[in-house]
């Protein structure tokens, strides 16, 4: 049993009293950003040098995070899961769960110079569940992520829900657990900024209302749309465990404040990608995330400790401490 399974079981056994908080490193960015997903390489002064990090650099970061052994789940593309979990057997002696991104809707195609995200999200799935399920002697994925984006467009949303239904059938038949990611609409389709959070919450509950227990997601991964929306969703059903996604990279304070606030208002999981991957020191960021999640330090204290860690590593920070203690995310202000 992985650490993820153990923590989910403890949360399910005591939804109101459990102090467990799960941290996931979302390393599936190659399915959205293509070659540029690893981020730009930087010189000794922290300036981008015009080159992108290679796949091997990205995989080396994953290996280091597994060795650090703080996160509870690492989410990968199938190809990187195959390399690390199956060929290298990186997770064979680890308590960290292996996840894969099971679908790649068009609103996640964030390629350079592309226009895919200018139309309502369309369902698409590259991955095959048969390639992901572990077999005797071959560790693969322990869980998959299925993503859906509602756009207040009846035809587009119907297509997305039909694809979700087909995926569930396949997952149940294969005995493959999944969790459900729900993005905010990628286009404005008759929704006001004030009305969008309640729309998304309603979409989530409506889409799962007719799903039996054996086909339901283990947990949710959603955008943090503020205290009211998080409290509403997390408080609706104690059997529906809610996690928050990280979004853009932002400042270090953005990352740690988001985790702190999401937990405060009911989230039990932080599933962060770029906020870890694009940090000056991903291991240091994860360390501070764990401390904030456990209530040992405040977000402000964690930012200061993170910068102290950068100084010890002789790593040039992207921002001054003063600038890194600011929030750039309106939902956190």
Q: pLDDT digit string (tens) for 87-107?
A: 999 999 999 999 999 999 999
Reported as a single tens digit per residue, the pLDDT across 236-269 is 999 999 999 998 889 999 999 999 999 999 999 9
Report pTM: 0.96
Low-confidence ranges of the chain (pLDDT < 50): none
Query: Which class is 3-332 in CATH?
Result: alpha beta
pLDDT of residue 333: 86
pLDDT of residue 42: 85
206's enclosing H/E stretch is: helix 196-208
Residue 287, exposed/middle/buried by CB under 10 A (0-12, 13-18, 19+)? middle
Residue 292 near residue 304 (C-beta atoms within 8 A) = no
- Token code pair at residue 24: 């996931």
Between strands 48-52 and 40-42, the pairing is antiparallel
Domain locations in the chain as residue ranges = 3-332
Backbone angles phi, psi at 98, to 5 degrees: -105, 125
Mean pLDDT of the chain: 96
């Amino acid at each position: 049993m992985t650490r993820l399974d153990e923590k989910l079981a403890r949360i399910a056994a005591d939804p109101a009293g459990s102090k467990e908080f799960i941290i996931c490193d979302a390393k599936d960015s190659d399915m959205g950003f293509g070659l540029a997903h690893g981020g730009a390489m930087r010189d000794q002064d922290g300036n981008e040098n015009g080159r992108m990090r290679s796949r091997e650099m990205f995989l080396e970061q994953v290996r280091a995070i597994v060795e650090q052994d703080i996160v509870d789940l690492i989410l990968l593309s199938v190809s990187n899961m195959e390399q690390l979990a199956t060929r290298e057997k990186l997770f064979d002696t680890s308590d960290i769960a292996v996840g894969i991104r099971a679908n790649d809707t068009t609103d996640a195609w964030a390629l350079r110079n592309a226009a895919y995200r200018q139309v309502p999200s369309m369902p698409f799935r590259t991955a095959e569940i048969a390639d992901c399920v572990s077999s005797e002697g071959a560790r693969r994925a322990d869980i998959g992520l299925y993503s859906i984006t509602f756009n207040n467009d009846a035809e587009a949303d119907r297509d997305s829900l039909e694809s979700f239904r087909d995926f569930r059938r396949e997952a149940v038949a294969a005995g493959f657990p999944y969790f459900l990611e729900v993005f905010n609409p990628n286009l404005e389709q008759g929704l006001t900024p004030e009305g969008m959070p309640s729309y998304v919450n309603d979409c989530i509950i409506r889409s799962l209302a007719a799903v039996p227990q054996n086909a339901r997601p283990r947990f949710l991964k959603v955008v943090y749309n503020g205290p009211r929306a998080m409290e509403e969703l997390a408080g609706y059903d104690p059997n529906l465990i809610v996690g928050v996604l990280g979004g853009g990279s932002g400042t270090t304070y953005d990352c740690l404040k988001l985790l702190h606030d999401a937990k405060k208002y009911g989230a039990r999981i932080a599933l962060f990608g770029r906020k870890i991957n694009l940090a000056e020191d991903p291991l240091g960021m994860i360390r501070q995330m764990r401390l904030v999640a456990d209530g040992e330090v405040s977000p402000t204290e964690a930012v200061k400790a993170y910068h102290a860690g950068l100084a010890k590593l002789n790593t040039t920070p992207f921002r001054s401490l003063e600038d890194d203690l600011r929030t750039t995310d309106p939902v956190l202000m």
